[in-house]
Chains A and B, each alone.
Chain A
């Protein structure tokens, strides 16, 4: 059984640029949730994808968008990067949209300069 993987591990972008982060869900899981974790804070829910559809969204602007593919892997896209977007981005997969147990990836550390 393969765990949740994320790529890249780290990246540095300039304000105003766009970024795409990737997540491969655990085998057998059809749901991916994305979180933003700023330094010293807990993860903040961005959105969830269930069977390729956005299933719910937190308090993030539309420049945060996502996709889920038929193999249930997912992308998080952030446009017009701002300095405050610097954070650790976590994805978590689960076997259903309302299943309580989610498995987290190692995260992608994004730095915006």
Chain B
């Protein structure tokens, strides 16, 4: 079955600390993985995708096919990073499967 698992509902870190939001997936085939973010009172928006291998707002995510993981990392968290983060998997070309989300809270 195709599935995305985000084991942490809430992650709280201090400003300046490293942050890692975990994501594991289950998919038979070559996965296309994404991270979406939803800031307070804003719409859900794409943060990054694994194919582009880019850093957005200081965040990076590496696809590890052996561990079926796609963890989101940032070396130094900022208060403005506080948001809801969703890991997602694109399946069959049209369907996006989302995890349950992790709320990141960056404390001053």
Q: Which of A4, A40, A100, A103 has the most CB of B within 10 A?
A: A100
Q: What's the nearest-Cβ distance from chain A to residue B103, in Å?
A: 10
Partner of B94, one of A42, A44, A48: A48
Partner of A43, one of B34, B93, B98: B98
A103 to B46, CA, bound (A): 8
Residues of B within 8 A of A16 (CB): none
Question: Can you identify 7 A-B contacts, CB atoms within 8 angstroms?
Answer: A42-B88, A42-B101, A43-B44, A44-B98, A45-B96, A100-B51, A100-B90
Q: What's the nearest-Cβ distance from chain B to residue A108, in Å?
A: 13
Task: Give the number of residues in A that approach B within 8 Å (Cβ atoms).
Answer: 25
Residues of A within 8 A of B90 (CB): 100
- Chain B residue at smallest Cβ distance from A38: B100
Residues of A within 8 A of B34 (CB): 100
Q: Is A74 in contact with chain B by the CB < 8 A criterion?
A: no
9 more contacts with CB within 8 A, not counting A42-B100, A101-B46, are A4-B43, A40-B9, A41-B101, A43-B44, A43-B96, A56-B93, A58-B95, A100-B32, A100-B90
A44 to B101, CA, bound (A): 12
- Chain B residue at smallest Cβ distance from A31: B94
Q: Is B92 in contact with chain A by the CB < 8 A criterion?
A: yes
Would A102 and B43 count as touching, CB distance under 8 A?
no
B22-64 interface with A by 8 A CB criterion: 32, 34, 43-46, 49, 51
Residues of A within 8 A of B45 (CB): 103-104
